[in-house]
Structure 1
Amino acid sequence: MMMRFFSNAKFSNLTIKLLSISAIVGTLIISASLYGLIAMWSSMNHLVKIIETGQNQERKILVISLHFKEQVQEWKNVLLRGKNSADREKYISKFKNQEKIVQQQSNDLLKELNRLQLHSLANQLKKFTEAHKVLSQKYQQGFEHFKHSNFNSEAGDTAIRGIDREPIKILTEVAHLISKQLLADTELAVKKKQQVIILTMTLITLAVIIGTIIYAFLIKVMIIRRVQNLTHDLKLIAAGDFTHPLHTSGHDEIGQIGLAVKTLKENTGKLIAEITKATHQVDHAALEMSSTMSATQEQLDKQAQKSTHASSAMNTMNDSIKAIVLKAEAVAESALNANQKSLEGQQMLTQTRDIIKGLANEVNTTSQIIGTLSESSDNVGSILDVIKGISEQTNMLALNAAIEAARAGEQGRGFAVVADEVRGLAQRTAESAGQIDDLIMELRSHASKAVEAMEKGKASTEQTVEQSQKMSDILTIIINSVGEISKTNSTISESISKQSASCDNVNEQINSISQLAKEANTSTSQTTKMSQSLSELSSNLALLISQFKVNNTSTSQENKKTTLT
C-alpha cells in the first residue's frame, strides 16, 4: 500500500519521496515526543500540587502553633498583669481571641485533611482539637482559681502548669506527619514522574526505531535496490554484454538514468553490430586483394621467365650473326636461321606484350580495389566519429548524474558511484574508438602507398608495352635484313654489322623488360603484404568487437551472405 502510494505520479521526484518519508518518520517521533511531554507536564503539575498542598498544610500547622503559643503567652500576661482589672480584661480578651483563632484554623485544616483523605493526619489533628477544648476548660478553671486566690499569679500558674505541653506535642507530631506525608507524596510523585520519563523515552526510542526501520525499508526498496539493479546492469554492459535486459522502473531520477542507460545500450549495440559488419566486409576485401596480388605475382614470374628466354634467344641470335661473319659461305643457312629466330622472337614479343597488357589491367583492377578499401576505411572512420559522439554524450550524461548526486548530498552518494562507472565506460569507449581510428589511419596510409605503387606499376607496364612494340619493330627490321641477305651477298657485311648492333640493343631492351618485371614483382609483393596487414588489422578489430555481446542475428546472416558471395 505504501509503495503504491509513493509510486504515484505526484512522487516522481526523488527529493519529494525522501521528504515525504522523512515527514512520516518525523511525525511519528514528534507524536511520541508530544505524548511524553504532555505526560511529563501532567506529572510535574501533580508534583507541584502535592508540594504546594504539603507546604500549605505545614504553613497552617505553623500558624496554628504560633497562635497557640500566643494564646499561652496571653495567659501568662493575664497571670502577670491580672491584678489590674483593665489589663486583665484586655489580656483575657486577647487570650480568648487567640483561642478562637486556633480552634477555627484547626477545624478548617481538619476539614481539608478529611477532604484530601489524609485520615492519619486528620485523626492526629483531631486529638489536638479535643486536647485544645479540654485545655480551654482547664484554663477556665485556672482563671477561676486565679480569681479566688485574689489574683495571685503563682496560684494561677500552679493550677494550669504543664497543661499546654500535650497540645504542643500533638501539633509537633502533626507537623512531623505532614512533613513525612509530603516527603512520601513527593517521592511517589517523583517515581511516577520517572516512570513517565522512562515511558516517554521508551516511546520515543520505539518511534525512532520504527521510523528508522520504515525509513531504511523505503530507502532500500525505492533507492538502494533499484540502484543495485542498475549497477548490475551497468557491470554487464561494462563487461560487453549488451543482450541482458535492463531493469527500469519509476519516473524519478533513478528511472530516468535507467532509461538513458537503456537507450545508450541499444544505440551502442547497434553501433557494434554495424562495426562487426564493416569488419567482415574489410576482411573480405583484403582476402580478394590478396588473391588478386597472388595471381598478378604469378603472371609477373611468368613474364620474367619469358624475358629470360627472350634474352637467351637474342644471345643465341648474336652468336649466329658472329658465326656468319666468320663463315661467309654459310650466309644463306645463317640467314635462314636468323629469319626463323627472328620470327620466334617476334612471336614471343607479341605474347609478352599481351601478357604485359593483361598485367596492366590487373594492376588497374587492384588499384580500384585498394581505392574501394580506402573508401571503406573512410566509412569506418565515420562510424568511429559516431562512436566518439555517443561517448561524449555518455560522458555528459555521467557528468550531469554526478552533479545531481552532489546536490543530493549523502542520499546521492550511490548516484555518484553510478556516474563514475558510466563516465569510466565512456572514457574506455573513447579510448577504444581512438585505437580503432589509429588503425584506420594506418590502413589508409598503407592503402595510399599501395595505390601509388600500383600507379607506378601501371606506368611501368605501359612503358614495357611500348618497349615490346619497339622490339617487335626491330625484329621486323631484322627479318627484312635477313631477306636482303638472302637476295644479295654484297651487303652481307654491312647488314650483319647493323644486325649485330640491333641485337645488342634488343638484348638491352629485353634486360630492361626483365628488370621492370622484377620491380613489378617486388611492388606486387609489397601490395600482398599490405593486404595481409589489412587482413590482420581487420582480424584485430573483429577480436576487439567480439568482446561485446549484442543481438545481431540479422547482421550475422548478412555477413555470411557476403562471405559466400
Structure 2
Amino acid sequence: MKIATKLLGLLIFSSFTILLGGGITWIELSKLAAEIGKIAEEDLPLIQHMTEMQESQLAQAVNFERAFRFNSRYAESATARNTFSEARGEFKRRDGLVDDALRKVDNILKREIQKALSNQQKEYWSDLKSELDLYKIMHDIYGNKSEEAFSLIVKNQPDQAEFAAERMQKSAEELKAEMRSLLRQAITLSQNSANIAKEDQQRTINIVLIAFIFIIGATLGFGIFVTRDIVNSLNKAVDIAEEVSAGNLSTKVEITSTDEIGQLLASLKKMTENLNSLIYKVQQSGIQMTSSTTQIAASGKQLEATMTEQLASTNEVTSTAQEIANTSGELVKTMEQVAQLSQITADSASHGQQDLMRMESTMRHLANATSSISAKLGVMNEKANNISSVVTTITKVADQTNLLSLNAAIEAEKAGEYGAGFAVVAREIRRLADQTAVATLEIETMVKEMQSAVSTGVMEMDKFSKDVSTSVENVGKISEQIAKVIEQVQSLTPQFEMANKRVENQSESAQQISEAMVQLSEASQQTADSLRDTNNALERLDDTAQGLQTEVSVFQV
C-alpha cells in the first residue's frame, strides 16, 4: 500500500469517526429537544386548559347562586327577572367555555396517546383520558340539573327549584372533586415528562463523551500505527544504505511492502547486485592486470621477440577496460535514479504532513460546531424563561380568583341570610385559588430545575470544546513528528549524491585505465629501441593496478 494511500486512509478514518460522533450528538440532542418541546407544547397547555375549565366551573357556580337568589321573587319583580336572565346567560356562556376547553384537552390527550413510545406512557395518558371522559359525563349531569332548576324558577315553582338546586349542589361538589383529580394527574404527568427530559439530557452527555473519547483514541491509535509502519520501513532502507556505503555488498535486502519504501528497497537491492557484480569483475580484472604487468616486467628483455603476442594481450586488456568504463557509466545512471527515488519519497512524506494539517483543520471545525451546540442550549434556556412567563400569568389568575372570592364574601354579607350559600361559594373560590397557587409554585420549581439542567449542559459543552482544542494541539505535535521524518528522508539525498560521486570517480579511473592501455598498445608498436620507455609505462601500469586493487578490496562480495 502506498504511503499516500495510508495517509489518505488515516484522513478518511478520522473524518468518518468525527461524522459518526456528530451524528450521534445530533440524534441525542434531537431527542432532548423533542422532549422539552413536548413539555412546552403539550403539558403546559394541558394544565392551562384544565385551569380554564376550573375557572369557568367556578364562575358557573357563582352565576347559578346569583340567579337562584331570585327564586321566590321571579314572578313579582321585573328587576329580578332581568338579573336572573343575565346570570343564566353568563352561566351558559361559561358552560360553552368549559366545553371548548374540554375539546382542547381531549385533543391533546388523543395526540399524546398516539405518540406514546412505551406501554407505560400510553397507560398514563389513557387513565387521564378516562378521568376526562368521566368529568364530561359529570359536567353534562351538572348542566342538566342546572337547566332543570332554571326551568322550575321560570315556571314559578320555587320549592321544586330549591330541591333541584340542592341536587345540583351535590353534583357541583362531585364535579369539583373530579376537577382536582384531573389537575393532580396532569401535574404528575408533567413532572414525569420533566424527569424524562432530565434523564435524556444526562444520557446525551454520557453518549457524546463516550463517542468522542472513542473517536480521539481510535484516530490516535490508527495514526501511530501508520506512522510507525512508515518509520520502520525508512529505518530499514537507511540501514541498508549505510551497509552499502561501508562496502558491504553482501547485505541481503528484504522487500516486505509495495509502497514507495518498498520501491526504494527494490532499487537498493538492484544497485547492490549491480555493484556486487561490478566489483567482482574489477577485482578479477585487477588480479589479472597485476599478474600480466609482473610477467611483462620480467620478460622485458624478450619484448621484441614477443611483441606480436604482447600486442594481442594488450588489445584484450584494452577491451576489458572499455567494458569497465561502460559499466561504470551505467552505474552512474543507476545512482542518479536512486537519488530521484529518494526525492520522491521526501515529497510523499510532505504530502502526508499536508494531510495531517487538513485533519487539524477538520478538528477546528468540530470545535466551532461544539460552540454552535452551546448556542442552541442557550436558546433552550430562553424557551424555559418563556415558560416562566406562562407560570406568572397563571399566578395572576390565582390572585384574581382570590379577589373574586373576596367580592363574593362581601356580596354574601350584604345579602344576609340569602347570601349563606353564596358565602360557601366564596370559601370554595378561596380554597381553589390557594390550590392553584400551590400548583403554580410546583410548576415554577420544575421550570427552575429545567433551567438549571440546561445551564449545566452549556457548561459541559464548553468543557467538551476545550477537550477538542487539546486534540487539535495533539494533531499539531504529530505533524511536527512527521516533519522530522521528512528531514531524515531528505538527509538521504546527500548520501546518495556522495555515493554517486564515488562511482563517477571510479568511472574516471576506469577511463584512465583504458587510456593507459591504449598508450601501452601504441608503445608495443614501437621498436626495441623504446624498450626503456615501455618498461617505465609498465611500472606506471603496475602502480595503477595496485591502486585499483586496493580500492576494490574494501568491498565485500
Give the TM-score normalised by the residue count of structure 2.
0.52
What is the SS of the residue equivalent to 1:193?
A: helix
* Counterpart position of 1:276: 283
2:210 corresponds to: 202
Pairs within 5 Å for 1:42-191: 42-64=31-53, 67-68=56-57, 71=60, 83=79, 85-99=81-95, 101-102=97-98, 105=101, 117=124, 182=190, 185-186=193-194, 188-191=196-199
- Does the residue aligned with 1:549 lie in a helix, a strand or coil? coil
1:368-410 C-alpha deviation (Å, 9 max, x unpaired) = 7588558635533432322222331342354256447636754
**1:266 to 1:545, Cα distance in 2 relative to 1, 3 A:** same
Structure 2 Cα separation of the partners of residues 533 and 227 of structure 1: 45
Contact kept in structure 2, 1:387 and 1:430, CA below 8 Å? no
The equivalent of 1:534 in structure 2 is 541
Query: What letter is aligned with 1:436?
Result: Q
User: 2:321, 2:513 within 8 Å by CA — same for their partners in 1?
Assistant: no
Secondary structure, aligned partner of 2:79: coil
Structure 1 Cα separation of the partners of residues 260 and 530 of structure 2 = 68
Which has the larger Rg?
1
Residue type matched to 2:52 in 1? V
Is 2:351 the counterpart of 1:376? no
Matches for 1:456-475 after TM superposition, within 5 Å: 458-459=528-529
Contact in 2 for aligned 1:25/1:211 (Cα 8 Å): yes
CA deviation string 1:405-452 (max 9, x = no partner):
636754498997898577556533432233234434555666677777
Q: The residue matched to 1:387 in structure 2 has which SS?
A: helix
Specify whether residues 433 and 273 from structure 1 end up closer, same or farther in structure 2 by C-alpha distance, changes over 3 A only: same
Q: Does 1:439 align with 2:509?
A: yes
Q: State how far apart, in whole Å, the 2-side matches of 1:409 and 1:460 are.
A: 65
Question: Is the 2:64–2:87 contact (alpha carbons within 8 Å) kept by the matching residues of 1?
Answer: yes
Judge which range, 227-236 or 198-207, deviates more: 227-236
Asked if the contact 1:292–1:366 (Cα under 8 Å) also holds between the matched residues in 2, the reply is no
Compared CA separation, residues 280 and 426, structure 1 to 2 (3 A): farther
CA contact (8 A) 1:32 1:204 kept: yes
Structure-to-structure mapping, 1:423-502, within 5 angstroms: 424=494, 427-440=497-510, 442-443=512-513, 458-459=528-529
| 1:28-39 pair list within 5 angstroms | 30=19, 33-39=22-28
CA contact (8 A) 1:236 1:242 kept: yes
2:95 and 2:525 map into 1 onto residues whose CA distance is 147
- Whole-Å separation in 1 of the counterparts to 2:316 and 2:124: 112
For residues 521-542 of structure 1, the C-alpha deviation after alignment (integer angstroms, 9 at most, x for no partner) is xx57xx44x5444333323322
Distance 1:290 1:258 in 2: 47
Change in CA separation of 1:391 and 1:182 when aligned onto 2, cut-off 3 Å: farther
Tell me, in whole angstroms, the C-alpha distance in 2 between the residues paired with 1:378 and 1:433.
20
Q: Does 1:288 align with 2:288?
A: no
Name the aligned partner's letter for residue 247 of structure 1. Answer: E
Structure 1 residues 197, 82: CA separation in 2 closer, same or farther (over 3 Å shift)? Answer: farther
Question: TM-score, normalising length from structure 1?
Answer: 0.51
CA contact (8 A) 1:44 1:193 kept: no
Partner letter of residue 93 of structure 1?
Answer: G
Tell me the residue number matched to 1:153. none
Q: Distance in 1 between matches of 2:253 and 2:265?
A: 8
Structure 1 residues 426 and 18: alpha-carbon distance in aligned structure 2, compared to 1, 3 A threshold: closer
In structure 1, the gaps of 5 or more residues are 1-11, 151-163, 294-358, 462-519, 551-565
User: What code does the residue aligned with 1:548 have?
Assistant: F
Q: 2:246 aligns with which of 236, 239, 242?
A: 239
- SS at 1:83 equivalent: helix
Q: Partner residue of 1:331?
A: none
How many residue pairs align between the two structures? 395
Q: Secondary structure at the match of 1:235?
A: helix
Relative to structure 1, the CA distance from residue 125 to residue 403 in structure 2 (aligned partners, 3 Å threshold; closer, same or farther) is same
Alpha-carbon spacing, 1:265–1:72, altered in 2? closer, same or farther (3 Å): same
State how far apart, in whole Å, the 1-side matches of 2:520 and 2:185 are. 122
Q: Name 1:334's counterpart in structure 2.
A: none
Letter in 2 for 1:98: R
Identity %: 13
Conservation of the 8 A alpha-carbon contact between 2:21 and 2:215: yes
